[in-house]
Amino acid sequence: VCLDATFKQTGGDSLAAVQLVALAQQHCKRAPPVDMLLDPTVSLRQIGTWIDTASHREVSFADIHGPAPKTIHAAEVDLRRLIGVAAPLPTPRMGRANHTLLTGATGFLGRFLLLELLRDAAAHGGHVTCLVRAADDASARRRLGAAYAGDGSPLEGFAAQLTVHAGNFAEPRLGLAQATYERLAAGVDDVLHNGALVNHALSYEALFAPNVLGTAELLRFALHRHRKSVAFVSTTGVLNGLPGPLAEDVGIAEAMPERPLEGGYANGYCTSKWAGEILLAQCCRDYDIPTIIFRSGLILGHRQHLGQQNLPRPLAGAIAVGIAALEGPLRHGLGDAHVLR
């Protein structure tokens, strides 16, 4: 095995990552987060170094929810415990936001969000900074450009409005150098947190570090130097289990004060977004940060960007194996038929 290869290059996938985390915890008493194993920029050598030298996170899943819980409670998700009590903050900036920090720009939704932000920035003299997982800034920009493969070069013409930094929102200081972090904290006006580890097979515990602690790190950034507004991309799946519609002025913690960890399709992912929404609500209430939550459902292709499609992949997979999931994205189009003839 080449130690400079990534986990995925050696045949690893998300399920194998969960197994490796369990083995590392059993034999080494510490385990890297799943998102580190799946990170395309992290080698096996770096993972081994992390296990040998890295200290435990200040806050872990067990610290928040206890060991092996069957049900978790909204009261356990405490932003102050995750990021500490912030010092008194200066008055937020007034007027139009001119500098946006975007996470998740290489994802399916993120690509379209970035284009909209760039068009708006070009029209109003604004700027967009993207945080992209990569070894360095140049690699991060190449990875962002590759996300638009098959769709021409839509980022051309926005060189003055776009900055790309290699980073990881699930790490301290967003994985940035201290000077870069401080400069962005002083210059950014608002945060659009679209990034997440999107995996509908992983458990909430496996997604806790990237999706819950990662959201807390973005909120820590929003509180640093000056108040920044935060927009959070969630999912309609957080509403699974509610008996009926939820009014927009009712918080998810009030509507769903507890959530079972054993559930159906994508319960781990939806629960991680449920926890993220709770953190956003606390940040708004306790720190007077303007926040907004977008709950997206099934997202299909864009009529103007024909090279960007996400529905064909699950359809092709269902046809290849002859079986479609009874739950999840295909159900809306296939009903309850699960054997494809």
| Each residue's pLDDT tens digit, 204-259 | 998 999 999 999 999 999 999 999 999 999 999 999 889 888 888 899 999 999 99
Task: With cut-offs at 50, 70 and 90, classify the pLDDT of residue 4.
Answer: confident
Residue type, 22: A
Q: Which domains are seen in the chain, by residue range?
A: 1-56 (no CATH), 99-296 (3.40.50.720), 311-341 (no CATH)
Going by the DSSP 8-state scheme, the letter that residue 92 receives in this structure is: P
Could you tell me which of 160, 131, 128 has the C-alpha nearest to residue 144?
A: 131
In 3D, which of 212, 220, 143 has the Cα closest to residue 185?
220
* Separation between Cα atoms, residue 181 and residue 184, nearest integer Å: 5
Can you tell me the distance from the alpha carbon of 76 to that of 57, in angstroms, rounded to the nearest whole number? 17
Q: Average pLDDT over the chain, rounded to whole?
A: 86
Q: How far apart (Å, rounded) are the C-alpha atoms in residues 196 and 244?
A: 27
**What's the predicted TM-score (pTM) here?**
0.84
> Per residue, what are the HEC states of 175-213?
HCCHHHHHHHHHHCCEEEECCCCCCCCCCHHHHHHHHHH
195, 169 contact by CB (below 8 A):
yes
pLDDT digits (tens, 9 = 90+) for 171-202: 999 999 999 999 999 999 999 999 999 988 88
DSSP secondary structure letters along 38-76: H-TT-BHHHHHHHHHHPPPPSS-HHHHH-SS-SEEEGGG
